[in-house]
Amino acid sequence: MNKIVVLNHKMNLLYSDIYDYIDKLNNIETKEDIIVAPSDLYLIEFTNTCNWGVASQNVYYEEKGGYTGEISTLQLKDIGVEYSIVGHSDRRKYFSETVEDINLKLKSLLDSNIIPILCFGEKDEDDDVDTVISELKEMLEGIDNISFIMFAYEPTYMIGGKKEVDVDKYSHMISDIKVYLTNNYHGNVNMLYGGNVNKDNVYDIINDDNIDGVMIGELSSNIDNVIEIFKNIDREVQ
């Protein structure tokens, strides 16, 4: 099974940069699946010219209305967006997004046949798996089938940091969460890891049996970084 690499640009790249980025991204040869999440401003350019999957970084749960500055599932669908990131810690930190908001967005995306990339994970290193599962359960309130949700496990304290990724630790955490989801919901579980993923650690992370892919943040807005990352993902070990 192919692994998944999500490239979350956050609030980066200028319009003058994107066609060079797309051209070089289109020319990456890899056995893995790529999903790129540019700023909303550039979504239509990516859906029109990028050969890989395209995700929005956010969505609103109402289909239309007087919600200035928001973007709806109908608008995303109309320009060919297939995925949408939900619940990212940046949204929760800077925009006070709640668990209830996340739940409504999940339901709206599923109703519109857009695949949510649901971000979740502990805030502190001392939090255990039960704490993570408790919040995840709230996010999934009223949702029975999780086959069309892509899960992205991202410990908040690892995002944008310099800490070394303990692959074994997070592999076990992901395994426990997968067991919970499999036992309590219908459908298969795909789970990515996010948090300080870079060219030096991506090979070990993505080749762990419990991890179905990675989410890479601000680093991914630089196409040269992306090229180096894929060189390491697809390298042959002697």
Residues contacting residue 62 through CB under 8 Å, at least 6 positions apart: 70, 72, 108
pLDDT of 1 reads 72
Q: Which of 8, 22, 32 is nearest to 230 (CA)?
A: 32
**Alpha carbon 84 to chain centroid distance?**
8
Active site residue 88: yes
Q: Are 139 and 178 in contact (CB under 8 A)?
A: no
Q: Report residue 24 as tokens.
A: 């070089």
Helix (H) or strand (E) holding 118: strand 115-120
pLDDT of 162 reads 65
Q: Are 105 and 62 in contact (CB under 8 A)?
A: no
Catalytic pick among 9, 88, 97, 122: 88
Catalytic pick among 9, 63, 154, 164: 154
Alpha helices in 116-166 (DSSP H): 129-139
Cα 206 to Cα 212: distance, rounded to the nearest angstrom: 7
Cα→Cα distances 43→37, 50, 79, 92, Å: 8, 10, 8, 22
Place of tokens 């319009």: 15
Encode 196-222: b = buried (16+ Cβ within 10 Å), e = exposed.
bbbbeebeebbebebbbbbbbbebbbe
Cα→Cα distances 71→61, 85, 106, 160, Å: 9, 13, 14, 26
Q: Which of 122, 119, 124, 82 is nearest to 102 (CA)?
A: 119
Alpha helices in the chain (DSSP H): 15-26, 43-49, 73-78, 89-94, 99-111, 129-139, 167-184, 202-206, 223-233
pLDDT of 236 reads 53
Spans in the chain with pLDDT lower than 70: 161-162, 236-238
pLDDT of 126 reads 76
Please name the amino acid found at residue 23.
D
Phi-psi region at 36: left, alpha or beta (left = phi > 0; alpha = psi -120 to 50) = beta
Residue 210 phi/psi, 5° resolution? Answer: -85, -15
pLDDT of 238 reads 32
pLDDT of 128 reads 85
Residue 115 burial (CB count, 10 A): 19
Active site residue 172: no
pLDDT of 161 reads 65
